[in-house]
Structure 1
Amino acid sequence: MRLDYLTIFPGFFAPLELSLPGKAADKGLLAFGVHDLRTWTHDRHRTVDDTPYGGGAGMVMRPEPWGEAFDELVRAGSTGAERTTIVFTTPSGEPFDQRLAEELATREHLLFACGRYEGIDQRVIDHARGVAEVREVSLGDYVLNGGEVAALAITEAVVRLLPGFMGNAASLVEESHAAGGLLEYPVYTKPPQWRGHEVPAVLRSGDHGRIAAWRHDQAVRRTAERRPDLLTPSVLDDGTPIVRATAGDAGELLTLQRACWVQEALANDMLDIPALHESLDDVRAWLGEWDTWVVRRAGRLVGAVRGRLEGGDAWDIGRVMVAPDLQGSGLGRALLEHIQAVAPAAATSYVLFTGAASARNQQMYKRAGFRLRRDLPAPPGAVVLTKRR
């Protein structure tokens, strides 16, 4: 892979010679080229910017140097324009993430256009689309003085994915934002005790199954606490997303829960079930109090589940609902797994209740690791089940 950088501050890219990128360049895995944009100016002041049309603060980078630089570097960097990707680092670009890093790692030639001031004349970007693939990329929702820092960050995320770059390729598998989509679990090394802090006993047990389970659980907890957006939406096996409910879902939720709790009423021979008697306003009210998720298929709301923290450490799970014609398809199990995964980090246990005579529901919950707790108070005609996180 070849990487070129167009900038008015070439010294920013000295770190490319350090650590693993530098070693990879020495091995021939990478080739770096840093270019001063002022090389393509033709006045004695080497001017690269001017005042903006329409007025306003700041300066805008002129198009002529960029155009001439692209004319030269796109030809120098590849045998055909289709093999060059020009990356404009800009706060108005698409968010940079691991998915985009993996995509850029498949390119043969990346040319980073590092803007300054108020940005680059839009015509430069429009022109670039005619000579190469263009990606406008943002490092995050903040503004830097220029694009150089972002270009270095993108470079590091991309080149470490190249075959042969990492000494141990397995280290890429369980990193944050890797294929599983979770943040990485906490890591420890020697000594086993340090300043009153101990390495978790499970990591010293030698039981690889328990260690794997602990690491997955810690990854889910950390993600739920720090980046809950990474847990949403979950996707079912058929590609259907599980998404957060909105106020507009209240009417369909009311219809769904009545259909589901008619079955519960028949199974338990009782009509005094709150879900059967709630009004539309009641549903709208609890939507504002519970973390609620729904599934739609062909525009129809077919499944839902909700959860909220009770007592500071118990994740109360409720209203696991699946349309009658889809019950037995595994949708209920998927909803149950999802609502556990999105529980906040403070939750140390899960709790739910179901009808005392709802054998099918109890069976599903037991298979998911829940246990009957006859020692805990339950609503009339119901039983409580709990599970340690």
Structure 2
Amino acid sequence: MRIDVVSIFPDYLAPLDLSLIGKARRDGLIELQVHDLRAFTHDRHRTVDDTPYGGGAGMVMKPEPWAEALDHVAAQTDSRPTLIIPGPGGQRLDQALARELARRDHLVFACGRYEGIDERVYDYAARDFDVRIVSLGDYVLNGGEVAALAVIEAVARLVPGVIGNADSLVEESHEDGLLEYPVYTKPEHWQGRSVPEVLLSGDHGRIAAWRHEQRLQRTAARRPDLLPRAAAAGAEQLAIAVAAPADIGELLTMTHACWLKEGIANRTLQIPAQHETLQSLTESLRDWTTYAARIDGRLVGSVRGRLQDGPAGAGTDWHIGRLMVAPDLHGRGFGRALLEFIQGAAPAAAASYSLMTGAGSEDNQRMYRRAGFRIVTRDDPPGTVTLSKRRSATD
């Protein structure tokens, strides 16, 4: 890739000799030239600006030196370069744009200053260049050099060979619309803080699942605008209603997706939910009161309950089952909201609540314990734990 930068402060671009971009230049992966705009002036003061027509504060960069500078760059190539003019009114830089620009053979940056470049230069440049106005964000800088540095680094690191380990580009922030997961290194314990246990487990499946969930949580907390509406919504936006036969198809799909994860956590394919069918799930609507939670029409979770006899002398129990949240929406608080809802939906006759989860489902158990549930039996049936909670007078 070839990159040319035109600026009245060529020394501003010196950082491009540092780090991986500098190494890429030395290795011949990137050819970068910086041109001093004042070299294309012809008066003794090397003037590049003048007062604006129509009045107003500030100065405007003159068209003549810019035209000569761009002609000089265009004459050095047989291709049609892309001219990038940084400006707050342009297309906002994002990872998709960086990938697009990384596929170009020749980028040219025109770093404006003062009140900007004479508008006629944009039209003039379109003769030899594909002109793109690019913005870093909704704010104003003193000049285009800082923006050029940012765009060049974002683009150049995507050029094959610039980053030594290409796999490191795959899981970065914004590559698939999500922010990157948190990272840790040695020591394992520092200042009273420890590396999450899952990263020490050696279980690559659990680690991948944890990292994906962390990416979703971080994106929802820091950049909810990157997520679809359902993923960015809070638990207060859940619309929960009794499930109907028309919901069965979506419920079945979600059941299989959620209990696949549970099966991995518990190392088993013998969980009844993993073998649910349309017929068996439809029949379950007669035995359970099943609720479907939606946001903007999308099924995002479900839970069900039914009355059963509690332990001897304990009265009637409200048994909670199939509490599930769409895998891509974990960490939104939907599970806690559904758990609270199903307890509130218990008939007046219920004296207690109970539920069952996998012995290896540590996240589930943690949520239930925080809600006041306590483990009462283990391995009945094998590989499970049963938790219970007395119903309080305020429930």
* TM-score, scaled to structure 2: 0.65
1:246-280, CA deviations, whole angstroms, 9 ceiling, x for partnerless residues?
A: xxxxxxxxxxxxxxxxxxxxxxxxxxxxxxxxxxx
Q: Does 1:116 align with 2:43?
A: no
- Structure 2: any 5+ residue segments left out of the alignment? 258-291, 308-319, 328-334, 358-362, 368-395
Aligned twin of 1:103: 100
Aligned twin of 2:143: 146
Aligned twin of 2:164: 167
Q: 2:182 aligns with which of 182, 186, 191?
A: 186
Shift of 1:160: 0.6
The 3 A distance-change label for structure 1 pair 39 and 368 is closer
CA distance in 1 between counterparts of 2:220 and 2:169 reads 21
Q: Does 1:69 align with 2:72?
A: no
Shift of 1:132: 1.0
CA contact (8 A) 1:85 1:107 kept: yes
The 3 A distance-change label for structure 1 pair 368 and 63 is closer
CA distance in 1 between counterparts of 2:94 and 2:65 reads 30
Instruction: Give the 3-state SS of the residue equivalent to 1:184 in structure 2.
Output: coil
Aligned twin of 2:345: 378
CA contact (8 A) 1:351 1:384 kept: no
Shift of 1:328: 3.7
CA distance in 2 between counterparts of 1:68 and 1:330 reads 66
Shift of 1:376: 1.7
Shift of 1:363: 9.9
CA contact (8 A) 1:378 1:384 kept: no
CA RMSD of aligned residues (A): 3.9
The 3 A distance-change label for structure 1 pair 351 and 10 is same
CA contact (8 A) 2:301 2:326 kept: no
CA contact (8 A) 2:198 2:206 kept: yes
Q: Does 1:28 align with 2:28?
A: yes
The 3 A distance-change label for structure 1 pair 185 and 127 is same
- Structure 1: any 5+ residue segments left out of the alignment? 235-241, 245-290, 292-306, 310-314, 343-349
Instruction: Give the 3-state SS of the residue equivalent to 2:89 in structure 1.
Output: strand
Shift of 1:128: 1.4
Q: Does 1:308 align with 2:307?
A: no
What number of residue pairs does the alignment pair up?
296
Instruction: Give the 3-state SS of the residue equivalent to 1:212 in structure 2.
Output: helix
CA contact (8 A) 1:317 1:352 kept: no
Instruction: Give the 3-state SS of the residue equivalent to 2:150 in structure 1.
Output: helix
Structure 1 segment 197-212 matched on structure 2, within 5 A: 197-212=193-208
The 3 A distance-change label for structure 1 pair 320 and 200 is farther
Name which one, 1 or 2, has greater alpha-carbon Rg. Answer: 2
CA distance in 1 between counterparts of 2:58 and 2:294 reads 48
One-letter amino acid of the structure 2 residue matched with residue 376 of structure 1: Q
CA distance in 1 between counterparts of 2:24 and 2:43 reads 38
One-letter amino acid of the structure 2 residue matched with residue 188 of structure 1: Y
The 3 A distance-change label for structure 1 pair 53 and 337 is farther
Shift of 1:308: 3.1
CA distance in 1 between counterparts of 2:243 and 2:103 reads 43
Structure 1 segment 325-344 matched on structure 2, within 5 A: 328=249
Aligned twin of 1:79: 78
CA distance in 1 between counterparts of 2:346 and 2:42 reads 82
CA contact (8 A) 1:92 1:138 kept: yes
CA contact (8 A) 1:112 1:151 kept: yes
The 3 A distance-change label for structure 1 pair 232 and 123 is farther
Q: Does 1:224 align with 2:240?
A: no
Structure 1 segment 223-302 matched on structure 2, within 5 A: 223-232=219-228, 291=233
Shift of 1:74: 1.4
CA distance in 2 between counterparts of 1:147 and 1:321 reads 57
Shift of 1:130: 2.2
One-letter amino acid of the structure 2 residue matched with residue 377 of structure 1: G
Aligned twin of 2:282: none
CA distance in 1 between counterparts of 2:174 and 2:107 reads 22
The 3 A distance-change label for structure 1 pair 384 and 145 is farther
Q: Percent identity?
A: 56
CA contact (8 A) 2:239 2:294 kept: no
Q: Does 1:135 align with 2:57?
A: no
1:10-61, CA deviations, whole angstroms, 9 ceiling, x for partnerless residues?
A: 0001111111111111111001100000111111111111111111110111
Aligned twin of 2:209: 213
